[in-house]
Structure 1
Amino acid sequence: MGKLLVTGATGNLGRRTLQLLLERLPAERLAGLSRAPERAADLAERGVDIRPGDYFDYASLVRAFDGVDKLLLVSAQAFTDRNAQHFNAIAAAKHAGVRHVIYTAIQRDDALGITQVGVTESDVFAEQTLRASGLDYTVLRNPMYLDQFDGYVGADAYENGVRVPPGEGTMAPALLRDLAAANVAVLTGDGHENTTYTLNGSEAASFREIAATLSEIHGRPVPYLPVEVEEYLESHVRNGLPRHVAEFLTAWVAGVGLGSFSRNTDDLERLIGYRPTSYREYLEENYPAVTKRETAPL
Structure 2
Amino acid sequence: MKNSILITGATGALGGMVTEKLLDNGVEDLAVLVRDPEKATDLKEKGVEIRVGNYEDKESLLAAFKGIDKLYFVSGSEIQNRTPLHLNVVNSAKEAGVKYIVYTSFQRKNETESSPIAAVAESHLKTEKAILESGMNYTLLQHGIYMDLLPAFMGEKVLETGTIYLPAGDAPVSFTLREDMANVAVEVLSGEGYENKEFVINNEEALSFEEIAKILTEITGKNISYHSPSEEEYLQALKNAGVTDEFAGMFAGFAGAFKEGEFTDTYQNIFKITGKKPVSVREFLSRVYSNN
Correspondence 1:84 to 2:73: no
Identical-pair percentage = 35
SS in 1 for 2:205: coil
Residue 2 (structure 1) shift:
4.7
The count of corresponding residues between Structure 1 and Structure 2 is 289
Preserved CA contact (<8 Å) 1:202 1:277: no
**1:41 alignment partner in structure 2:** 41
Correspondence 1:241 to 2:243: yes
Preserved CA contact (<8 Å) 1:71 1:101: yes
Query: Distance in 2 between the 1:150 and 1:12 partners?
Result: 17
**1:101 alignment partner in structure 2:** 101
Preserved CA contact (<8 Å) 1:172 1:264: yes
Q: Superposition pairs for residues 150-161 of structure 1, below 5 Å?
A: 150-158=151-159, 159-161=161-163
Correspondence 1:66 to 2:94: no
Q: Superposition pairs for residues 113-132 of structure 1, below 5 Å?
A: 114-132=115-133
Correspondence 1:180 to 2:158: no
Query: Distance in 2 between the 1:57 and 1:227 partners?
Result: 43
**1:17 alignment partner in structure 2:** 18
The two structures have a TM-score, normalised by structure 2, of 0.93
Correspondence 1:209 to 2:211: yes
Correspondence 1:165 to 2:170: no
Deviations 1:158-188 (A, max 9, x none): 3331111142222221221111111111111
Preserved CA contact (<8 Å) 1:106 1:119: no
**2:288 alignment partner in structure 1:** 286
Q: Which runs of 4+ in 1 moved over 6 A?
A: none
Preserved CA contact (<8 Å) 2:204 2:266: no
Amino acid corresponding to residue 49 of structure 1 in structure 2? E
Residue 16 (structure 1) shift:
0.5
SS in 2 for 1:101: strand
The two structures have a TM-score, normalised by structure 1, of 0.91
Query: Distance in 1 between the 2:242 and 2:42 partners?
Result: 32
**1:8 alignment partner in structure 2:** 9
SS in 1 for 2:31: strand
Deviations 1:231-284 (A, max 9, x none): 222333333432112211221122112111112111122122101110111111
Q: CA, structure 1 residues 161+64, in 2 after alignment: closer, same or farther (shift >3 Å)?
A: same
Q: Which runs of 5+ in 1 are unaligned?
A: none
Deviations 1:17-62 (A, max 9, x none): 10000011343x1111011121111111111111101111111101
Preserved CA contact (<8 Å) 1:78 1:118: no
Query: Distance in 1 between the 2:182 and 2:281 partners?
Result: 17
Deviations 1:109-152 (A, max 9, x none): 13786241532011110001111111111111112212222110
Query: Distance in 2 between the 1:12 and 1:238 partners?
Result: 30
Preserved CA contact (<8 Å) 1:105 1:123: yes
Query: Distance in 1 between the 2:273 and 2:165 partners?
Result: 34
Preserved CA contact (<8 Å) 1:172 1:204: yes
SS in 2 for 1:251: helix
